[in-house]
Amino acid sequence: MGKLNIETITSHDTEQPADSIEWCPHDGWQDVFVCGTYQHERDKDPSSANRVGRILLYRFGAGPDGGGPTDDTLSLLQTIDRSAVLDQKWNPRTNHQLAVAGADGTLALYALSDTSGQLQLEPQTTATLAGDETEERNLLALALDWSPDGKRIAVSDSHGCIQLLNVEDGLQPVHSWKVHGFEAWTCAFSRHNENIVFSGGDDCFLCAHDVRCPGEPIMKGKNKTHSAGVTSLLSFAGRDHILLTGSYDENVRLFDERQLKCSVSELPLHGGVWRLRSNPLREPDTILCACMYHNFSVVQLNADDSFELVGEYGEHESICYGCDWQQVGKGYRSGRNVIATCSFYDHKLCVSEVTVA
């Protein structure tokens, strides 16, 4: 692959600081995505803060009847006021479900439905995370991931815990692990073994957990590899046993899932790597990276497992947190590669097209 150009198609003011983007992967609704926001509301007591947020439901480029893409219009379909949103992900298999990690320590499920021609998210159920009972700090749900079969969800939290919940039983808890000494920033199911969940924390640990065993993690990799907190994980479905990580230490790394003690390869990026997203239906080896204090970057994962920086997008003027590829096949939108990105204090959302230079 050659170098990439990233050109803004349209942008929108999210009003509150924005930190997550997720395109809907389901057939017929691939022009729909959500953006999550997070805002501190401080009162007279500076030690307390109410973390409020919104789920913003957008449609990009749909025709007037919602039947297909006709233009590059970005439409805000719905605004849901709630506790601040840290992470969101769609059920990969069924029910058009959206799972949301909240700053109130909850995991919430919403269902996307078409009522009288109007797409809306309807609340389904909410579970409060267990956290660490010995902790005095507020409990925030920080990140989540669905199992590949869409039946379970793993959630990481600010107490350093990882919790597994069963969706089919109404978000019933299955296991909870106290793993990280500080915030557990991220978690991800393996796309190669659905019994394995990975987690990364502010303590620089990268861990693997067997969900069939509620005991200690089965593998750990520590400071020798990550010199700062592990902030993002991507189990790479396109290649056997490949796990990608992002870190505050400004590197994206490739690991063999069977051996986490050292990385296979790495690439330094600027600003701290908060989020990693692949483009599974078109260019799975092309990884979109949210580099917090620098920009959004695109890296190519080469056949020899090395990385190459192939594109950069610098239109945002604040912390770059949220990004995702539109999840569509080759026949949709005449083959265009579209991304959405968002940033924090400038509360800016952009939809852009990625092309080969």
Into how many domains does the chain fold? 1
Q: 3-state DSSP call for residue 335?
A: helix
Judged on CB neighbours under 10 Å (0-12, 13-18, 19+), 32 is buried
Mean pLDDT of 317-328: 95
CATH number of the domain where residue 215 is located? 2.130.10.10
Model confidence at 67, pLDDT cuts 50, 70, 90, reads: very low
List the structure tokens of 140: 């925030």
Task: Please give the residue range of the domain that contains residue 248.
Answer: 4-356
pLDDT in tens, 168-188: 988 999 999 999 999 999 999
Q: What percent of the chain has pLDDT over 90?
A: 75
Amino acid at 235: S
Backbone angles phi, psi at 339, to 5 degrees: -125, 160
Model confidence at 98, pLDDT cuts 50, 70, 90, reads: very high
Mean pLDDT of 66-92: 87
Mean pLDDT of 248-254: 97
Query: How far is the C-alpha of 167 from the C-alpha of 184, rounded, in Å?
Result: 22
Which of 172, 236, 166, 229 has the alpha carbon at shortest distance from 199?
229
In this predicted structure, the answer to whether residue 1 has a pLDDT above a threshold of 80 is no
pLDDT at position 314: 95
Q: Cα separations (Å) of 198 from 11, 107, 168, 186? A: 34, 18, 22, 8
In this predicted structure, the answer to whether residue 236 has a pLDDT above a threshold of 60 is yes
